[in-house]
Amino acid sequence: MQSICAVEGVTAAGIKEGKYGLALIKAEGTAAAAFTKNIARAGPVILMQERIKHGRLAAIISNSGCANALTGQRGIDDAVEMASIAAEELSLDPREVGVASTGVISRYLNLPLIKDQCHRIAPLLERSPLAEISAAKAIMTTDLVEKHSLVRREGFTIGGICKGSGMIAPNMGTMLGYVYTDAEISASDLQVALKTAVKRSFNRVVVDGDTSTNDVVFCTATSTAGKVPLNEFTAALEECCVSLGRQIASDGEGATKLIEVIVRGARSEDEADLAARTVVGSPLVKTAIYGEDPNWGRIVAAAGRSGAEFDPEKVSCWISGSGLKAAVCERGVLTEDLKTAKASLAGREVQIELDLAAGNGKAIAWGCDLTEKYVEINGKYTT
């Protein structure tokens, strides 16, 4: 599937050697970013929160295998050095090189390895499907598949890649994401559009409820396609990010099912957002979906503790999947359709719909089931 290299002005390259990977993406233009809200921020996050204020990027260097998080001043200095390594290879201003890391927390970067890998892949930068695949694979950690998205509109294109499988919770980007567009858009407008898109996509993905120290989404506009209406661009950017977010949820560590939660009838979009994210993040809901148990009481109970205001006696709930749809609760009353509901949980994708009957607010969130495999993966992550 095509993604970032379908955007004019973008070239990429990547390398993966064991668990240590490095991706380079070169594209000059206005830029915006969103970052983790975890106060335990990685060195590259601290660095880029300052540098992105200039509203411009010319390249991104991103490593996997080491998060460079909880590494103090040395971690920030190493992130600065990473930018300088890429800048030297690509003849760029290091202040316009984005830096991101992912992997084990509380380990120092192997800068000699990063410098060697960068030197080897910089000459390989090209605009091709193979190039974007190599870059997407380079940043994977526990991901099983690379993640790509491409949205074409009349007059402009948006493409993105991302990584994310575990340590995923809705408190910013929940992963590393690199999005590019050929639209001409100012840095300030790009920041507004990205904030809106992130709110309705990556911020609504929950795998395990843990917010990473390294989350970042960079968005760069090369401006080669000319100006486009901001509302059209924002809608397309949201579509691109939603696609990437769904792929993260589907590839959650140990996951066997993608869960989509649709909440409508809330007092506002924000309250629908709260309810949807709480339901999809509930360990009890996740394990019930894994066990194919239509325990709708867990769903309503999760919504009830979310902070959204509603009357439980007016709530209706449906469960869909495998071509089936079952009402399990209507106006707060259990229905007799649990046999169909159980059958609907047998497939790879499950949809939960909740009508809170309290207003016109609507939101969608995505997640996955919680399995024994998740414990196995994370119980032995560093050893």
How many Å is the maximal CA-CA distance in the chain? Answer: 68
φ, ψ of residue 17 in degrees (nearest 5) = -125, 100
Residue 200: CA atoms inside 13 Å, Cβ hemisphere, count?
A: 16
- Alpha-carbon span 304 to 169, nearest angstrom: 19
- 174 has catalytic annotation: yes
Question: How deeply is 347 buried, as exposed, middle or buried, from its count of CB atoms within 10 A (0-12, 13-18, 19+)?
Answer: middle
378 is in an annotated binding site: yes
Q: Is 253 annotated as a binding residue?
A: yes
Number of alpha carbons in the 13 Å side-chain half-sphere of residue 28: 7
Q: Which pair of structure tokens corresponds to residue 246?
A: 């769904």
**Would you give the DSSP letter of residue 128?**
S
339 is in an annotated binding site: no
Residue from 174, 213, 222, 371 carrying the catalytic annotation: 174
* DSSP class per residue in 12-74: EEEEEETTEEEEEEEEEEEEEEEE---SS--HHHHHHHHHGGG-EEEEEEEEEEE---S-HHH
Residue ranges at the known binding site for substrate? 141, 163, 174, 253, 378, 383
Give catalytic residues, as residue numbers: 174
